[in-house]
Structure 1
Amino acid sequence: MQEILIIDFGSQYTQLIARRVREFKVYSEIIPCTAPFAEIKKRKPAGIILSGGPSSVFDENAPTINIELFKLGIPVLGICYGMQLITHLLGGKVTKAEKREYGKAILKIDDFSDIFNEIPDETVVWMSHADKIIEMPHGFIRLAHTENSSYAAIADRNKKIYALQFHPEVVHTQEGKKILHNFVFKICGCSPTWDMHSFVEREIEYIRKTVGKYRVVCALSGGVDSTVTAVLVHKAVGDALTCIFVDNGVLRAEEREKVEETLRKNFHINLKVVDASERFLRKLKGVKDPERKRKIIGAEFIKIFEEEAKKIEGVKFLAQGTLYPDVIESVSFKGPSATIKSHHNVGGLLKRMKLKLIEPLRELFKDEVRDLGRELGIPDEILYRHPFPGPGLAIRCIGEVTRERLDMLRKADKIVLEEIKKSGWYKKVWQSFAVLLPVRTVGVMGDERTYEHVIAVRAVHSVDGMTADWVRLPYELLEKISNRIINEIKGVNRVVYDITSKPPGTIEWE
């Protein structure tokens, strides 16, 4: 299989490069700049892209690569820091720019061969750099320039080395996709052969060989990732897979029933449903701190999952819906990030139960998981479900979690989703939900004074959940949601709308 390797130097845009290449139906993978040179050589990629990054080539301990990379005869494209590193390693001159170039710039093309084929004479590109090239390495020619960068694009065609000072992967670069397309197809000679059909065939064969005669367990949440994982693994090993769904008492309305119908009726998967709602609510009694809630729910889930998994003979593998962004974060050059909030997973089971991990989605982005789901015949109702946190309604029920407060929140959440679906907004937003606040407010209902609960409504736009903006829902829709919540849910007399973006807020309230 042809692949484009992307060597990551810590750019916030590195994932975008991989996504753009995959959009061309060519497989791409990100590896850290610390990856051994022998590994890169062994993989024999069709092309290599060096990402941007926050460092300067003049920094002490600046990230670098083995110069032997340029002797492999494999086409190389350096972007921003990648360009400066190529210049620095191959004998050109890099200097601190008199003024940092950040934002849009007009690129003027000097050479329309290969990488700039069919690109206009002048085009808008996105710059983000503090260093610049003042002298090209021997053998390089200038391909393009801007007002502030004499060498905005350079190349040594004999060695198949290309370098860009701007970021072609971002949407602000008008012809960015075409430039990357030219590199992948005209320079690297790739063919558009990577798609979900070929991915399914390859992954099924791999899972069968890996599992052999043993059994697999999968923790099912009902979300997109775990459902696609379960269906794909089931397609590979059939009844050797058992899915375990734990009803923790903090699920959305009718969640359990929908999961059972999807997995049992549509795909005939072995599904073990465990009603542990009372057990979870006992553990959460009196707990108000959000981190404690998350940890209690995560730890209890692992205990229950372990108890049920041990009842199945011959289990050697745990299937998990890890996605590619999670993998990238764990091996990225950028290093560990700050813990904003703990996440809910079953990773602790691996050592305790001596299980081996199967992660069939670890090469995929979220949109690709949905494409895979369609290939597997999973209905859109599941594939386009809004994300739902592992700790469930417990972290949307601000303060203490009680059955009464959960019932109130569950009804409000159901109304929000029903009205957003009816209005046609469901697929337009990343996530929408209700939050029960730990405050009461005065109101007037039926000529009587009330002192009741407050529901907050949240709806956000996002691509990957890393950043988000609040959605400008129509006033008529907000009015309908508010009226229904107040009229249909006893104990609620006020509805508010959250207009906070991420950052500074998070998508969830806890």
Structure 2
Amino acid sequence: MHQKILILDFGSQYTQLIARRIREFNVYCEIHPFNRIPKLDNTVKGVILSGSPFSVRDKNAPMPDLTGIRGRYPLLGICYGAQLLSHTNGGEVLPSAIREYGRATLEVVDSNCPLFTSLSPKSQVWMSHGDTIAKIPDNFKVVASTADVKVGAFSVLGEQTYGIQFHPEVYHSVEGSKLLKNFVVDICGCNQDWTPASFIDETVSNLRNQLGNDKVVLGLSGGVDSSVAAMLLHKAVGPNLTCIFVDNGLLRKNEFSQVLESYKTLGLNVIGVDASQRFYSELKGVSDPEHKRKIIGRIFIEVFDEEAHKIKDVKWLGQGTIYPDVIESVSVNGPSATIKSHHNVGGLPEKMNLKVIEPLRLLFKDEVRRVGKELGLPGGILNRHPFPGPGLGIRILGEVTPEKVRLLQEADSIYIQGLREAGLYDKIWQAGAILLPVQSVGVMGDERTYEFVVALRAVTSTDGMTADWFHFPYEFLARISNEIINRVKGINRVVYDISSKPPATIEWE
């Protein structure tokens, strides 16, 4: 068993970021809601309290009992976590005179504090709080301050307990990672042995023990999550794994054949199913985005179920569930409202009466890629941009028809190939073309045209939760626009989407 850091989540938007920073040190950590603290065993080496949208002064503020943690384990409170430690031990937390949000300069007051070992005497940090610690308990000591925040950080005398008013996990806290590493590695004494290679060895061993000679079926999408899950299962059970890749007619141009070929070169046992006409038939006349998603999800389950039943004695359904999905299902506020129903394939195991196996449920997206690289997955799969489950079905606004799919596939192919040729593909988190439900007047030669409009989308992101639009050189946009309009009959106008997330989503539907 790996040593681990326990992160208690109070609902902060940054909690997952704390975990990802810690995993970058090759240290395993887990996120648990503050009101569901797991049993603490000898693998736990330290505990972190996250930030929160709550104020400790709120009537319903989260107030967990920390008596089994404080003094027994090194403890770090971040923002709300720091205020909680002060407030519950006789300190005073008051509303800030001004909301403290954004960059600030932290000055280390006590350079002997192990939390600040090797940090600069002054460094930039990121503040995000409406309350401030006005008075600390008697056995607390101020170890760092900013111009506006006297208690920028504190330590507790005689304990390995610390609190900080800023967010070390965010990019804008320049030496934040160094501070977290001081806590996790030096103060908590964690071994840095959580590596892709160790994950593969342990996961494959556990899969072999769990599955034995049972047969497993898994739905491949061509994306990194399902591909890495398939490779791990293949290493564990070999020919007892059957993968099913369904062509819903909404994939990118030539994607079905290209992806099938790449999987076969990896030695995977893959069945390709062309069900495109079935999807087109059911989608006819449907324009509502949520209705389209539900139709696409339902037919996928039906097709997958039919193909899986052709394989005898299957007992397990493999899924590419990753750690953010797991966290979301047990979050502080309960499962979030479904924003995109296609993420939800929960009906599949019940319908098929299979047990579920999820080899990636402990990993973040960036860790999945590192594991895939260690497994030898080709870059074409490993570095592929995220692609929505309903595919081009939600990039064709309005009704989906085979002709619209063809138009969008051609335009999208020119765009994506252009990104690769310009060396831009790997700098972008996700890119794609969207066919708009409007037609515009244009002129080609001496003829007046009345054809479709395509919008191009490209964003940068680390996890897809927030995203900024990519700043293309004008020359690139001009070239791609010309190529699409000249080569794709039926499109006479190209626009570029410069909306960030939030408030816009990455996909249009």
TM-score by length of 1: 0.96
Q: 1 CA distance for matches of 2:399 and 2:122?
A: 60
Contact 1:4 1:29 in 2 (8 A): yes
Sort the Cα spacing of 1:64 and 1:44 in 2 relative to 1 into closer, same or farther, 3 A: farther
Sort the Cα spacing of 1:91 and 1:301 in 2 relative to 1 into closer, same or farther, 3 A: same
Is 1:190 paired with 2:190? yes
What pairs up with 1:124-273 in 2 under 5 angstroms? 124-265=124-265, 267-273=266-272
Residues 76-134 of structure 1: per-residue CA shift (max 9 Å, x gap)? 10111101111222333323333332222222212112111122222222112222223
Q: 2 CA distance for matches of 1:473 and 1:272?
A: 39
Identity, % of aligned pairs?
57
1:392 is matched with 391
Sort the Cα spacing of 1:98 and 1:501 in 2 relative to 1 into closer, same or farther, 3 A: closer
Q: 2 CA distance for matches of 1:132 and 1:408?
A: 56
Q: Tell me the secondary structure at the aligned position of residue 393 of structure 1.
A: helix
Q: Tell me the secondary structure at the aligned position of residue 192 of structure 2.
A: coil
Is 1:74 paired with 2:78? no
Paired letter, 2:181:
H
2:31 is matched with 30
What pairs up with 1:354-365 in 2 under 5 angstroms? 354-365=353-364
Q: Tell me the secondary structure at the aligned position of residue 258 of structure 2.
A: helix
Q: Shift in Å at residue 345 of structure 1? A: 4.2
Q: Shift in Å at residue 338 of structure 1? A: 3.8
Q: Tell me the secondary structure at the aligned position of residue 41 of structure 1.
A: coil
Q: 2 CA distance for matches of 1:305 and 1:31?
A: 34
Q: 1 CA distance for matches of 2:162 and 2:321?
A: 34
Q: 1 CA distance for matches of 2:90 and 2:485?
A: 71
What pairs up with 1:272-351 in 2 under 5 angstroms? 272-351=271-350
| Consecutive unaligned residues in structure 2, runs of 5 or more | none
Q: Tell me the secondary structure at the aligned position of residue 94 of structure 1.
A: strand
Residues 210-247 of structure 1: per-residue CA shift (max 9 Å, x gap)? 11221111111111111111111111111111101111
Q: Tell me the secondary structure at the aligned position of residue 193 of structure 2.
A: coil
Sort the Cα spacing of 1:230 and 1:135 in 2 relative to 1 into closer, same or farther, 3 A: same
RMSD: 1.6
Q: 2 CA distance for matches of 1:485 and 1:102?
A: 44
Q: Shift in Å at residue 488 of structure 1? A: 1.4
Paired letter, 2:412:
D
Q: Shift in Å at residue 407 of structure 1? A: 0.9
Contact 1:294 1:344 in 2 (8 A): no
Q: Tell me the secondary structure at the aligned position of residue 58 of structure 1.
A: coil
1:87 is matched with 86
Q: 2 CA distance for matches of 1:2 and 1:72?
A: 18
Q: 1 CA distance for matches of 2:436 and 2:227?
A: 31
Q: Shift in Å at residue 71 of structure 1? A: 4.5
2:22 is matched with 21
Q: 2 CA distance for matches of 1:260 and 1:471?
A: 31
2:109 is matched with 110
Q: 1 CA distance for matches of 2:340 and 2:445?
A: 43
Contact 2:71 2:161 in 1 (8 A): no
1:407 is matched with 406
Q: 2 CA distance for matches of 1:416 and 1:97?
A: 49
Q: 2 CA distance for matches of 1:344 and 1:78?
A: 33
Q: Tell me the secondary structure at the aligned position of residue 82 of structure 1.
A: helix
Q: Shift in Å at residue 157 of structure 1? A: 4.8
Sort the Cα spacing of 1:494 and 1:205 in 2 relative to 1 into closer, same or farther, 3 A: same
Q: Shift in Å at residue 138 of structure 1? A: 4.1
TM-score by length of 2: 0.96
| Consecutive unaligned residues in structure 1, runs of 5 or more | none
